């Protein structure tokens, strides 16, 4: 793995984690308040199969600084576009997880010539007005928790207890979404106002219009929760998104975490390799 910086149209630099390969490239996009390291175990498998991989730290996330003008889904999509154009990755399989799925949808709709196939990993169909009655209700539900005084080691312990099937690499990658301070506590890399600004942008711009413009083969990979009501709600959302897509396949992950790339990286990589072969 190598770290590469890519200039963006906004004037900043996007940090990418890259793996070597000679065949069709993959571009991997993380979710809100996450980072590119969550893709490491998936990327290892893709690279071992011969594919170059670029995992992008979106603006304000991971090793990429937050630009002065902030970030939204469209500007995040433009940052990923800059990576694809700068390194001649047109025709790549673009995979986005959670909000990163919405970013990948926007990119694919706006620049279809750059994307050979699209994978939506428990995201890309996130439609907040369909899930909440009002913006205030949405903002209250999705506002990040206060982390004041939380120690990094305590966070690691919580993650290991709540996700016993995650590897140590996945746990450390999740901790890396935060900044560890010299006293052992953590703070957010993405400040809460910026986080809520992205959520507001998602509220204002649900992905339906962009899904309807996509012609690339699209693989939808929902994490289906154990709770029956939530599972059926997820299936309805995914089916509605699939109905808008010209070429779609749904592959459910039963009884799974939202962070499929952390919980089931090898299985996810196998599905992505199958999409690349199409």
- What's the gap between Cα 46 and its chain centre? 17
Dihedral angle of Cα 119, 123, 124, 129, to the nearest 10 degrees = 170
Cα distance between residue 49 and residue 157, in whole Å: 33
pLDDT confidence tier of residue 8, bands split at 50, 70 and 90? confident
Categorize the per-residue pLDDT at 182 as very low, low, confident or very high, splitting at 50, 70 and 90.
very high
Helix (H, G, I), strand (E, B) or coil at 186: strand
Coil vs helix vs strand at 118: strand
Count the Cβ atoms, other than its own, within 10 Å of residue 83.
Answer: 22
Superfamily name and number for 2-126+206-277: Alpha/Beta hydrolase fold, catalytic domain (3.40.50.1820)
How many CA atoms within 13 Å lie on the side-chain side of 123? 26
Dump pLDDT digits (tens) for 9-19. 778 899 999 99
pLDDT value of residue 70: 78
Full 3-state SS string of 139-182: HHHHCCCCCCCCEHHHHHHHHHHHCCCCCHHHHHHHHCCEEECC
Each residue's pLDDT tens digit, 46-78: 999 999 999 999 999 999 999 988 789 999 999
- So what's the pLDDT on residue 69? 82
Task: Provide the pLDDT for residue 270.
Answer: 98
Region 225-245 average pLDDT: 96
pTM (2 decimals)? Answer: 0.97
């Amino acid at each position: 793995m190598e770290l590469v910086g890519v200039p963006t149209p906004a004037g900043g630099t996007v940090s990418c984690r890259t793996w070597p390969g000679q065949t069709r490239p993959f571009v991997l996009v993380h979710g809100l308040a996450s980072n590119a390291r969550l893709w490491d175990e998936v990327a290892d498998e893709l690279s071992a199969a011969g594919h170059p991989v670029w995992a992008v730290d979106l603006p304000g996330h991971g090793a990429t600084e937050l630009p002065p003008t902030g970030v939204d889904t469209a500007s995040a999509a433009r940052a990923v576009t800059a990576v694809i154009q700068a390194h001649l990755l047109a025709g790549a399989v673009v995979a986005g997880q959670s909000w990163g799925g919405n970013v990948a949808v926007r990119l694919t709709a706006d620049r279809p010539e750059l994307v050979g196939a699209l994978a939506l990993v428990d995201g890309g169909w996130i439609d907040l007005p369909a899930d909440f009655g009002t913006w205030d209700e949405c903002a209250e539900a999705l506002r990040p928790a206060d982390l004041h005084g939380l120690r990094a080691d305590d966070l690691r312990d919580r993650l290991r207890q709540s996700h016993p099937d995650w590897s140590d690499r996945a746990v450390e990658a999740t901790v890396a979404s935060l900044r560890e301070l010299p006293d052992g506590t953590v703070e957010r890399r993405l400040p809460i106002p910026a986080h809520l600004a992205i959520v507001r942008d998602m509220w204002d711009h649900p992905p339906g219009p962009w899904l309807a413009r996509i012609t690339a083969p699209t693989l939808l990979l929902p994490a289906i929760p154990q709770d029956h009501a939530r599972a059926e709600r997820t299936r309805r959302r995914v089916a509605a998104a699939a109905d808008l897509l010209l070429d779609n396949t749904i592959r459910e992950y039963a009884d799974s975490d939202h962070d499929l790339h952390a919980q089931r990286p090898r299985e996810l990589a196998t599905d992505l390799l199958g999409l690349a072969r199409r």
